Amino acid sequence: MRPINPRWHLRWKKTLQLLRQLFTLPEAFEGVFVTGATMSNFTGLAAARQWLGKQYGVDVAAQGVGALPEIKVLAATPHSSVVKALSMLGLGRNSLVTLSTLPGREAVDVKALEKWIAYNPDTPFIYVASAGTVNTVDFDDIAAIAALKDKHPFWLHVDAAFGGFAAVSPRFRHFLNGWEQADSITIDAHKWLNVPYDCAMLFSRHPLLQLDVFQNAGAAYLGDPVQNFNYINYAPENSRRLRALPAWFSLRAYGAEGYRDIVEQNVKQAQRLGEALERRDIPPAGAREDVRSLLYVQYGRQEAGGTYPHLPADARQARDHIRYAHHAGRRSGHAGRAGELAYDG
């Protein structure tokens, strides 16, 4: 493995700055490219594990998870990749505490979180907030959760793999209120950013904790990880392709206005699909197979203050309609609309 090409490093940095701007995140967040939401959640939770260790005077990266007391990770409706990450990080699937949700929702009941904190007043923990659940694209009340950090120490990781794109639309941005107070955020690029597999980002307020975990210590040919900045010291992969390049092309082609139009157009199309399904009186589904194909519908439903739509027993036709809507968004003709994103090079 050779040291990184300086020009590649610059392209990564510029692209991540544009993405941070697109998602209206504060400059306190530093980004890194990874393969997908699974690795993004893994990276964010690895930094969270290091933070937890510091609360107990333990350097987990050096001493291992065996030096930690029992750790708890709280969530209401976490994605399976979060549970997978807990296994890979040595925290174990059993470290997950599943909190109750609001009636008829997949969003956490914040009162349940407050109750857990009251029963465990001296216990630092990790909370994984959902910003777009995989089944019904529901959103935790991130602002209410973040407000609890003033009274109790915990790491707030926001899994916004899909829902993070609500930030590009003034109509839907309120779903993410409070995410700027998170410690780490997962966002998938190979969804609404219109780039190929595999590509995602982890944005974090704590890059030095990432460095503690992922640094290549003792590799003289790579230089001192502290003195010589290199993205390989902030995420799991040492060997990595230039994921920033297709993301940069897409950002330059669509711009903030283009992404806003794509998201809002997809939501409008999905609302029309949902209304058509309701007019046909399609019965509720017992199974949840392919329910992610109705993902876009929920943005419009939440905006209108409605309840969750009944899902069709056989969602394959709906899935095909959604795929058509998504590809129609790709072809919506936003080439050259990069002026919404300030770029200086």
Phi then psi for 117, rounded to 5 degrees?
-60, -40
Burial class (CB in 10 A: 0-12, 13-18, 19+), 26: exposed
Helical residues (DSSP H) of the chain, grouped into ranges = 6-22, 37-55, 60-63, 80-88, 110-119, 142-147, 207-214, 244-279, 295-303, 316-330
Question: How high is the pLDDT of residue 340?
Answer: 38
Q: Which CATH architecture has domain 6-242?
A: 3-Layer(aba) Sandwich (3.40)
User: Which residues 6+ apart lie within 8 Å of 21 measured at CB?
Assistant: 256, 341, 342
Q: What is the pLDDT along the chain (345 residues), one digit of tens a residue?
A: 455 556 667 788 999 999 999 999 999 999 999 999 999 999 999 999 999 999 999 999 999 999 999 999 999 999 999 999 999 999 999 999 999 999 989 999 999 999 999 999 989 999 999 999 988 889 999 999 999 999 899 999 999 998 999 999 999 999 999 999 999 999 999 888 888 889 999 999 999 999 999 999 878 777 777 778 888 899 999 888 889 999 999 999 999 999 999 888 888 887 787 777 777 766 444 323 333 334 444 544 555 444 444 433 334 444 444 443 444 344 444 443 433 343 333
- CA 153 – CA 271 distance, rounded (Å): 40
Residue that has been written with the tokens 């990184």 in this structure: 4
Peptide bond into 198 cis (omega under 30): yes
Residue 208, both tokens: 């030095």
pLDDT tens per residue, range 141-169: 999 999 999 989 999 999 999 899 999 99
- Domain locations along the chain: 6-242, 247-331
Question: How high is the pLDDT of residue 80?
Answer: 96
Contact (Cβ atoms closer than 8 angstroms) between residue 312 and residue 290: no
